[in-house]
């Protein structure tokens, strides 16, 4: 028996008990006649004491050799500690060691195993198995496990069945590139790894499973922006005989369940916001509504004066930044530089200081009088002491730029509080999105999403105006889930694919199996998927998903611990009947 108790278990009530503990040496203090060792495992830390007078000499000698991260087993007696440590649950006691076994030695770890470590990101990733011993990482993984457990509890109680779907499939169009896997048995052919189980879950509905879920890995070969992983986990769900309303209710309940069970937070009914309103009021389809600073559109009140920049703009729009009228000229210049950075891309920024005495001071005083500026203040909801920041230009670009500024100001003002949760549904997304580069439309969600009833005819005349039965769940400025009511008849699916530029043959080759299935009694159905990694991170009060994944990849898509991806040897290539010819 390696242990009778864990290292987090012993209390004053165990005094005089003989125990066996196993764990890692966190640290040791050697005073010659006495040695203290902090022994650590997943459950906590227990202090061991080796005492010249009470511990056999041979064991004293062995204890002197213990290094950090050695794995040991000790047998001893629980005794009361002279100087108690109120900071840890085992702080009232220590274990007087009588026997010591070194189970495994350890090289000096490359970084300290403390909450605040001296190890940099890359080093921690290379030795992730050591990093996982640190409390912040360990606790995040335990937290993740709790969230997934609660997801399973809730969905199982609601009658959802967990079904696994295959990983070796063919392309699922979620808008990214596929990872592909060569097939040995089918020479020259490749599987694609699923970007999501989308088509399979729809087929499960045709198969009569009625309510499906799966906590599942998805694979997308994208350029990795800051916080993306090439493989990530979804809570993937689908239901038959449902309308949008049914789906929103079930998954709102799931989210509320998680917030309650995991965070102890009760949230009222989630607000619902039309996509168009989200864009108009926040410049963003995933608005953070923990704070205000809603957009005020100023075209009416700012155009048709002598200020050419505004007159020529498609949209003039501003936000009132609370209590920022006191910004100095220098601070404002810095802010203007910030919006002009290529990542934001604004050409400039007009500002209005709303003075405490009710007057206004703006960077465009030459063109606008106090009455004009008062109207701007009204439209942006600015009060005395606020700073109105105004951008202008092409509608889509300006909205994105002002949204970035809004988030930045909220960050600076401490308005993005991690322990405050503000979920909402964004609904009525457009069905199609224009790709500015190619001039083609593609599905904003995916090609299986159904248009709003009665709008299918619009596809020919005004494709950009067609709205979809598609919805996103947004939490604190992050999209944590998204889904749609699906097309469930072959004819509509064919029209949709045609509008997305698929020829009839291409449609058949890629999605023939799904369209065939629609001819064998497909029920109306719909669903959604949550991004589990991000959901867990946000519930955990953080925004980086990497810290909640046991073995994440770096920004270059590499696993630096196992050193993947890596070349394969010639023998493997031969088996696949492939030869490698790199084009550059």
The binding site for ATP comprises: 220-222, 229, 479, 531-534
CA distances from 199 to 16, 237, 444, 517 (A): 62, 12, 17, 11
**Residue 68: CB minimum distance to ligand ASP, A:** 44
Total number of residues binding ligand ASP (CB under 6 A)? 9
**Mask 131-170, x = binds ligand ASP (CB under 6 A)?**
----------------------------------------
Sign of CA dihedral 516, 521, 524, 530: negative
User: How distant is the alpha carbon of residue 381 from its chain centre?
Assistant: 32
3-state SS track over 463-512: HHHCEECEEEEEECCEEEEEEEEECCCHHHHHHHHHHCCCCHHHHHHHHH
Residues 493, 351: Cα–Cα separation, whole Å: 49
Question: Does 194 contact ligand ASP by CB under 6 A?
Answer: no
List the one residue from 487, 529, 532, 539 that touches ligand ASP (CB under 6 A).
Answer: 529
Which one of the spans 36-44, 99-107, 112-120, 522-530 is the region binding ligand ASP (CB under 6 A)? 522-530
Residue identified by tokens 């069970």 is: 261
Residues 287, 339: Cα–Cα separation, whole Å: 19
Select 24 or 154, whichever has its Cβ closest to ligand ASP: 154
Rg (CA), the chain: 30
Question: Does 174 contact ligand ASP by CB under 6 A?
Answer: yes
Query: Residue positions in the annotated binding site?
Result: 174, 220-222, 229, 445, 479, 486, 531-534
Q: How many CA atoms lie within 13 A of 467 on its CB side?
A: 12
List the one residue from 482, 497, 517, 522 that touches ligand ASP (CB under 6 A).
Answer: 482
Select 294 or 492, whichever has its Cβ closest to ligand ASP: 492
**Mask 29-68, x = binds ligand ASP (CB under 6 A)?**
----------------------------------------
Which one of the spans 319-327, 420-428, 476-484, 517-525 is the region binding ligand ASP (CB under 6 A)? 476-484
Residues 294, 128: Cα–Cα separation, whole Å: 42
Query: Residue positions in the annotated binding site for L-aspartate?
Result: 174, 220, 445, 486
List the one residue from 21, 321, 528, 560 that touches ligand ASP (CB under 6 A).
Answer: 528
The total of other beta-carbon atoms located within 10 Å of residue 393's CB is 21
Select 63 or 545, whichever has its Cβ closest to ligand ASP: 545
3-state SS track over 270-281: CCEEEHHHHHHH
Q: Are 487 and 449 in contact (CB under 8 A)?
A: yes
Question: Does 500 contact ligand ASP by CB under 6 A?
Answer: no
DSSP three-state, residue 169: strand
Q: Are 50 and 60 in contact (CB under 8 A)?
A: yes
Closest among 261, 333, 280, 292 to 539, alpha carbons compared: 261
List the one residue from 198, 255, 284, 450 that touches ligand ASP (CB under 6 A).
Answer: 198
Helices (H), 462-503: 490-499
**Mask 429-468, x = binds ligand ASP (CB under 6 A)?**
----------------------------------------
List the one residue from 76, 287, 477, 483 that touches ligand ASP (CB under 6 A).
Answer: 483
List the one residue from 450, 484, 493, 510 that touches ligand ASP (CB under 6 A).
Answer: 484
DSSP three-state, residue 316: strand
Question: Does 196 contact ligand ASP by CB under 6 A?
Answer: yes
Q: N- to C-terminal Cα distance for the chain? A: 58
Question: Does 233 contact ligand ASP by CB under 6 A?
Answer: no
Site of interaction with ligand ASP (CB under 6 A): 174, 196, 198, 482-484, 527-529
């Amino acid at each position: 028996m390696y242990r009778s108790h864990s290292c987090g278990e012993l209390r004053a009530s165990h005094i005089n008990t003989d125990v066996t503990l196993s764990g890692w040496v966190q640290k040791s203090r050697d005073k010659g006649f006495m040695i203290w060792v902090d022994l650590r495992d997943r459950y906590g830390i227990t202090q061991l004491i080796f005492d010249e007078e009470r511990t056999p000499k041979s064991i004293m000698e062995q204890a002197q050799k213990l290094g950090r991260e050695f794995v040991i087993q000790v047998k001893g007696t629980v005794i009361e500690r002279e100087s108690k440590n109120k900071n840890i649950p085992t702080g009232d006691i220590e274990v007087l060691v009588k026997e010591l076994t070194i189970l495994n030695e350890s090289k000096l770890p490359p970084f300290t195993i403390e909450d605040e470590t001296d190890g940099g990101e890359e080093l921690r990733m290379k030795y992730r198995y050591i990093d996982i011993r640190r409390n912040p990482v360990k606790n995040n993984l335990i937290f993740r496990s709790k969230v997934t457990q609660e997801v399973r509890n809730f969905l199982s109680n609601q009658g959802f069945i967990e079904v696994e779907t295959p990983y070796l499939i063919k392309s699922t169009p979620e808008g990214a590139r596929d990872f592909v896997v060569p097939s040995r048995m089918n020479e020259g052919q490749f599987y694609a790894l699923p970007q999501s189980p989308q088509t399979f879950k729809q087929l499960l509905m045709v198969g009569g499973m009625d309510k499906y879920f799966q906590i599942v890995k998805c694979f997308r070969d994208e350029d990795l922006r800051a916080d993306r992983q090439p493989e990530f986990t979804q809570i993937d769900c689908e239901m038959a005989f449902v309308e949008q309303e049914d789906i929103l209710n079930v998954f709102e309940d799931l989210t509320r369940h998680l917030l309650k069970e995991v965070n102890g937070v009760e949230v009222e009914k989630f607000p619902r916001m039309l996509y168009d309103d989200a864009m108009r009021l926040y410049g963003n389809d995933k608005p953070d509504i923990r704070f205000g600073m809603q957009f005020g559109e100023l075209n009416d009140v700012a155009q048709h004066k002598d200020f050419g920049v505004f007159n020529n703009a498609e949209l003039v729009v501003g936000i009132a930044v609370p209590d920022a009228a006191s910004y100095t000229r220098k601070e404002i210049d810095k802010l203007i530089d910030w919006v002009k950075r290529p990542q934001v891309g604004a050409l400039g920024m007009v500002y209005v200081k709303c003075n405490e005495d009710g007057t206004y001071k703006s960077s465009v005083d030459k063109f606008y009088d106090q009455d004009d500026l008062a109207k701007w203040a009204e439209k942006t909801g600015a009060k005395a002491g606020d700073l109105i920041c105004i951008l202008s230009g092409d509608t889509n670009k300006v909205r994105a730029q002002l949204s970035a500024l809004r988030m930045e100001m909220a960050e600076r003002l401490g308005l993005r509080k991690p322990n405050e949760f503000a979920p909402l549904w964004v609904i009525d997304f457009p069905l199609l999105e224009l790709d500015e580069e190619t001039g083609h439309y593609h599905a904003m969600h995916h090609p299986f999403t159904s248009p709003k009833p009665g709008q299918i005819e619009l596809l020919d005349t005004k494709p950009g105006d067609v709205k979809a039965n598609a919805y996103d769940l947004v939490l604190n400025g992050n999209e944590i889930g998204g889904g749609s009511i699906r097309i469930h008849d072959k004819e509509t699916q064919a029209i949709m694919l045609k509008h997305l530029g698929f020829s009839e043959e291409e449609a058949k080759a890629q999605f023939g199996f799904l369209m065939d299935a629609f001819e064998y009694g497909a029920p109306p159905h719909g669903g959604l998927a949550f991004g589990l990694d991000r959901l867990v991170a946000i519930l955990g009060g953080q925004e980086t998903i990497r810290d909640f994944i046991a073995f994440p990849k770096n920004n270059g898509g590499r696993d630096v611990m196992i050193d993947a991806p890596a070349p394969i040897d010639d023998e493997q290539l031969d088996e696949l009947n492939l030869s490698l010819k790199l084009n550059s």
